[in-house]
Chains A and B, each alone.
Chain A
Amino acid sequence: MTGREARMGSVKVIHYLNQFFGQIGGEDKAGIPPQLKEGSTPVGQLIQKESSNRFEVVRTIICGDNYAAEHLEEVASVVLKWVEEIRPDLFLAGPAFAAGRYGMACGVMCKTVQQKLGIPALTAMHPSNPGVDSARKEIYIIETGDSTLDMKRVIPKMIALSQKILDKASIGMSQEEGYLPRGVRINVRAEKRGSKRAVEMLLKKLRGEPFETELPLPQFDKVMPAPPVTDLANALIALVTEGGIVPKGNPDRIEAHNASKYCKYFIGNINDLTGEDYQTAHGGYDPVYANDDPDRVLPLDAARLLEKEGVFAKLYDYYYMTVGNVTAVASAARYGREIGELLLKDGVHGVILTST
C-alpha cells in the first residue's frame, strides 16, 4: 500500500451513465441529450464507497439511451470536450449490464476518451451486450451479469482493475481480473515447444480425454439456398428486411443495435413507402437515403409493379423487419427461423429479403 492509495479523493473520476442510472427517468426520457452534472449519482457513490473514497466522482455525464444510439458521434464529441476540460485521472462508464444501447454508448465513450485524451477508461457489461464488440479491443470491459443485481459484485472489480491501470501495474489474464477477453491474441512463450504440445494434444484426443485447442476458430454456418419458386406466376411473395424500416416514430421501439425482436407491419393498402410515414431504425448505416425513400431498403414500390405485371400473383399483406446491426448470430438465427415459420403458415411461397 502506497500512501497515495490511501489518500481520499486522490483519483478524480468522470462517470458516464444513461438516463435511468442517472436518475432522470425511464424509457420516456431515453431521448434526452447529454448533460453534465457536478458530483455523483448513487452508482458513483457506490464507486466512491467501495474504493474507500480514494476515487472521487467529480462529474457525472448523463445521456438518454436513444439519444446516444442515434447521435453516437455527436455525444462522443460532447463528452470528449467536457472530459478534456476537467482532465480527470479516470473515465468510468456504466455498468451497462445487458442494456444494448447503453452498452454501446459506454463502450464508444470509453474508447474515444482513452484514444483521444490518453485518459484511462473502463466500463462493465454482460458478454452478450453489443457494446462489447464496439470497444473490447481498445479498453478493458469488466464482465457483469445481465441485471443490476450484479452491481455490488462488479463495482469492486472495476475499481481494482482501474487502480492497476492507473498504477501501470501488470494486468493479469481476463479470468483473474474479471474483464472480458479482448479478442486480442498476444505472443507468449510456452513451456514446451509446439511439436511436443501437438503430440500431447493428439494423445489426449486419441484417448478421448478433454483437450484444449490453442486456437479456437469462429464457426460459420453454411446456409443452403432454398430451391427456386417453380410457379412464380401463382406465388404469394413477401417482403422481409433486416434494414430497420419501421413506421414513422418506431412505434415498437426496436433497437438500433442488436435488436431484441422482429416486428410485423401491415402494407396491404400501401403501394409506395415515403419518408413521411416510414423511416429506418437501423443504427449501422447512413440513414439519410433510407429516410428519404424507404423503398430503397424495403422495395415496396417495385414489388407492387411486379405484382401488377403479373410476375407473381400477390404480395403478402405484411412485411417482417428487424435490425441486423451487431445483432448476435444466435438471435438472428432465431428471428429467421420464426419469421420463416410464420410466413409458411400464411401460405407464402417466396421472400424477397433485403439487407443493408
Chain B
Amino acid sequence: MNELLLRRVRVHDVVFGEKTEISDHVLRMNQEEVVRYLLEDRRLKSVEIKIARPGEKKRIIPVKDVLEPRAKLGGTLTTFPGFFDSAEPVGTGITYVLDGVAVVTCGKLVNFQEGLIDMSGPGAEFSLFSKKLNVVLVMEPKENLGKHEHEEAVRVAGIKAASYLGLAGTMAACDEEISFPIATLVELEDSYRGLPKVIYVDMVIAQGLLHDNYIYGINAQGSLPVLLSPTELMDGAIVSGNCAAPCHKNTTYHQQNNPIVEDLLAEHGKTLSFLAVIAMPVCTSLLDKERICTQVLKLAKFLGAQGAIVSEDGGGNPEADLMMLARLFEKEDIKTVLVTDEYAGRDGASQGLADVTPEADAIVTNGNGNQYVILPPMEETIGHLEAIDVITGGHTGSLRPDGWIEMEIAGIMGSTVEVGSENLKTIAV
C-alpha cells in the first residue's frame, strides 16, 4: 500500500544566520540568500525579511497569503507542484514540515482584500498565525507593474520561500513521523465495508484577481472539479491566490493543514471511510455554478459517497454554490454538512448568508466576520499600517489618531476561516 510520510521538525525559534539550517529546533536563515533568490523575479523591486514571533508587539499588514514551509525528501516530486520544475501528482513519499513556522507574504497592497496579523493583544486571539513564528516577506513591486503581475510575483515568492525553508527541514532531525496510507477505492471497500463512505468537497474560489486558487499550478478558473487524495493537499496541491476577505480566505497554509482533512482522517477506518477530496472551483456565472456543482455530484455518485462535508471559500456568491450543492447532494441522499461563516452585521442581527435552501439543514458556522474590535497600537508594523483604512474589515478612520485601530474581524487573517481551523462560532441570543 502506498503512503505519505509526514515528518515534522519542531521549530522553537527563527533567527538570521550565515547558513540556512535547523539545529536544536532553531531555524537559522541566510537572509541575503533568500532575498537574492526571490529577487531573481525581475518584477520585484525589493524584498525585506522580517521575523515576527508570538507575543511580540508586532503587526503585519497587508498580508496576502500564508504558507507553511514544506519540502519533499529526494525523488522528483516537489511540494506546491505545477509551479516550477515538477507537476507530477504528489501526496506520496516523504514530506518535511517546519512545524511552528509560517511564511507570510506582505508589502504594497495589490488590492483591498488583504489582511492583518497581530502577534499580541486582542487581535492575536483571532488567528492561528499569531501563534506562529512568521517569516514575513515584505516585497515591493517595480514601478508600473500591473496588478495581476504584482499578485503573481508575490504569490510565487511565497511558494519559493516556503519550499526553500522546507528544504532546510529535510536535513534536520524530525520530531514526529506520521504515516498516511493511500488506498484504492477497492481496498477501501474491502477494509472498511459497512462504514459510511464520506467525501470532502473543498470549494476554491476562481473569480479573478485575488479571488483565484491554483490546483497543481493551474488557475481553477476554467477547470472542472479535481479529484484529490487527502495527502495531496498536505503537499500543497492547492495554492491560494485568493483574498476574498481576510477572515474567510482559505490560505495556502489552511489548505496544507486542512483541518477537515485531518479530522476526517482521524475518524477514517473507525466511524467512516474517507474516500477522497474534491477541489471544487467556484465561478461567478450561474451556468458555471451549475456546470461545476453537477460535475461534483457526478464524481460523488461515481465514488459511491454517502456523506459529504463541503467547505466554503469566500462569501456572498459562493453561497449559491454551497446551497446548490447541498440541494443536489441531499436529493441523491448524500448526507451533507456545510461549513461556512457569516456576515451578520456588526449587531449580529442580519441574515448572515446570501443564499439559503431548506436542504441545508446541517451547517457549521465559524463566526460572524462583522464583529467589531479595537486593537491597541503595536511597537512595530511590518508592512504598511495605512492599508488598514482600505482593506476589507477596515474603513476610513480605522487607524485612529491615537494609533489604535478600529475594525471588523473580517480584516484579520483567517479569523472565521471556513475550513474550520479556529473555534469561533455564533449563537443566537
Residues of chain A whose beta carbon lies under 8 Å from any beta carbon of chain B:
137, 173-174, 181-199, 201-203, 205-206, 211, 213-220
Contact = CB atoms under 8 A, between A and B. Distances in A.
B226 interface: no
B186 interface: no
B429 A174 contact: yes
Contact of B421 (A173, A188, A195): A195
B26 to A, nearest CB: 29
Contact of A185 (B198, B344, B422): B344
Contact of A187 (B259, B271, B425): B425
A213 B339 CA distance: 11
A183 B347 CA distance: 10
SS class, residues of chain B in contact with chain A: mixed
A90 B391 CA distance: 42
B427 A186 contact: yes
A215 B272 contact: no
Contacts of B347: 137, 184
A185 B340 CA distance: 15
A195 B259 contact: yes
B424 interface: yes
Given A188-B425, A193-B422, A199 B264 contact: yes
A193 B419 CA distance: 10
A201 B419 contact: no
Contact of A199 (B260, B360, B367, B422): B260
Contacts of B409: 187
Interface string B347-385: 111011100111011111111100100000000000000
A211 B366 CA distance: 17
Which of B335, B344, B365, B429 has its CB near the most chain A CB atoms (within 10 A)?
B429
A194 B364 contact: yes
B116 interface: no
**Top 7 closest A-B pairs, CB basis?**
A194-B420, A195-B420, A195-B259, A217-B356, A185-B426, A185-B348, A215-B363
B343 to A, nearest CB: 11
Contacts of B371: 187
A308 B374 CA distance: 68
Interface in B400-429: 409, 417-429
A112 B307 CA distance: 49
A192 B366 CA distance: 11
A80 B418 CA distance: 46
Given A186-B427, A188-B427, A195 B335 contact: no
Interface size of B as a range: 35 or more
A196 B367 CA distance: 15
Contacts of A137: 347, 349
Contacts of B368: 185-187
Contact of B340 (A173, A193, A215): A215
B342 A185 contact: yes
A90 B267 CA distance: 54
Contacts of B307: 202, 205-206
27 contacts: A181-B429, A182-B428, A182-B429, A184-B348, A185-B349, A185-B429, A187-B371, A188-B426, A190-B423, A190-B425, A193-B420, A195-B259, A195-B419, A196-B263, A197-B425, A198-B260, A198-B337, A202-B272, A202-B309, A205-B336, A214-B426, A215-B352, A215-B353, A217-B357, A217-B363, A218-B351, A219-B358
Contacts of A211: 362
B269 interface: no
Contacts of A198: 260, 263, 309, 311, 337, 339, 364, 420
A77 to B, nearest CB: 25
Given A190-B425, A218-B356, A202 B420 contact: no
Given A193-B420, A206-B196, A214-B365, 12 more contacts: A137-B347, A174-B429, A194-B259, A194-B421, A194-B425, A195-B419, A198-B263, A198-B364, A199-B260, A202-B307, A213-B361, A219-B358
Contact of B427 (A185, A197, A202, A206): A185
A89 B2 CA distance: 72
Contact of A215 (B260, B342, B357): B342
Nearest to B364: A198
Contact of B429 (A173, A189, A197): A173
Contacts of B262: 195
B420 A197 contact: yes
Most chain-A Cβ atoms within 10 A of its Cβ — which of B347, B360, B364?
B364
A182 B347 CA distance: 11
B306 interface: yes
A220 B356 contact: yes
A199 B349 contact: no
A221 to B, nearest CB: 10
Nearest to A219: B358
Contacts of B358: 217, 219
B307 to A, nearest CB: 5
Contacts of B309: 198-199, 202
A220 B267 CA distance: 36
Contacts of B337: 198, 201-202, 205
A194 B339 contact: yes
A187 B271 CA distance: 31
A211 B338 CA distance: 13
B202 to A, nearest CB: 11
A187 B422 CA distance: 12
B189 to A, nearest CB: 17
